[in-house]
Chains A and B, each alone.
Chain A
């Protein structure tokens, strides 16, 4: 392998994501090529340096703020089809654009596709429901098994970065 090919694999190499053959050939190349070995150390320094980004602390009132909003939400928002109509304001440019998109869609596809993913024209609930459906479809038993090597489903304290690629 030449240096270009080696560099293509260095990210995976430093994340421990290569098979033993590739690993061996990279290690033997790095042993003799100062260019690639310094590139590897730069790349690893970069990866560590990313941790220098600052974190923000949640508003201490974040929970009570949330429950206040959730309570208001429940009163004014009846979930369902009509909830997005509420948010529509007369906007003829948008209406024109939507009509064009509609027209083109009908011509192009002939039918309505349930998979219209243009988020802007969907209510939050519809969007989130679609996400759920997609996820359900995407996660087969097989992939669930694959996921299992990353630990229990709950993630829990994992969110700040101990279970993944570090």
Chain B
């Protein structure tokens, strides 16, 4: 199988079928990354298309030094952030630690009511929504996209140590928020 880099170089040389192959490989991953980040099903497809359009347009400048997926997810992160930022145009990026998706509540109140009505995945989405941007992104890139700490650090423009701290802090917060579901043998446990 040809590597991403080989395909990108072929794209650069004008071979569009190589880019279609790249999209076949990575489109679903990028689409779901955007979806998990923005929580908006309808927009995710448009945003994923935008990401690949940007990559395609930049193909002429592509040099094989950079790992393709790192570049791809960096652009996907920028596109998602810009989209979320437009929706929250009066909140600065650093302050924007909550309400990044369609969920209005920033607090996750796990009442008995919710426990019986909501599915687990909704609770996870809600809990993720309350995390600061960078903790959420770090967990998404490491956990869902399978990026290494180093790659995640490149995407988020921070150190590897910072990525580890984001993942850890985010994970601790999620444990606290979802505690009733996590206790072995507990009332709502696994």
- A residues lining the B interface (CB < 8 Å): 7-8, 11-12, 17, 38-39, 41-43, 45-47, 49-50, 52-59, 62-63, 65-67, 69-70, 73, 79, 119-120, 124-125, 127-129, 131-132, 134-136, 138-139, 143, 146-147, 150, 152-166
Contact = CB atoms under 8 A, between A and B. Distances in A.
Interface of B: 1-6, 16, 20, 23-32, 35-36, 41, 44-45, 48-49, 52-58, 61-63, 65-71, 74-75, 78, 81-82, 85, 120-121, 124-125, 139, 142-151, 154, 157, 164, 167-168, 171-172, 174-175, 178-179, 181-184, 189-190
A45 to B, nearest CB: 4
Contact of B69 (A73, A131, A159): A159
A52 B124 contact: yes
Nearest to A17: B164
30 contacts: A12-B164, A17-B164, A43-B171, A43-B175, A45-B181, A49-B124, A50-B139, A52-B120, A55-B28, A56-B31, A59-B45, A63-B23, A66-B49, A69-B53, A119-B81, A131-B78, A132-B63, A132-B66, A135-B74, A136-B65, A136-B66, A147-B148, A153-B67, A154-B68, A156-B3, A157-B25, A158-B146, A160-B145, A161-B145, A165-B146
Top 4 A-B pairs, shortest CB-CB distance: A159-B29, A154-B3, A164-B146, A161-B146
Given A17-B164, A131-B78, A156-B25, A125 B58 contact: yes
A156 B32 contact: no
Given A46-B182, A131-B75, A53 B67 contact: no
Contacts of A39: 175
Given A47-B171, A63-B20, A128 B143 contact: no
A8 B159 CA distance: 18
Given A63-B20, A138-B154, A129 B146 contact: no
B interface secondary structure, majority: helix
Given A139-B65, A161-B143, A53 B124 contact: yes
A66 B31 contact: no
Given A128-B57, A165-B143, A66 B67 contact: no
Nearest to A62: B27
A130 to B, nearest CB: 10
Residue among A39, A69, A124 with max Cβ neighbours from chain B (10 Å) = A124
Nearest to A161: B146
Contacts of A131: 71, 74-75, 78
A132 B31 CA distance: 21
A150 B27 contact: no
A139 B146 CA distance: 19
Nearest to A44: B182
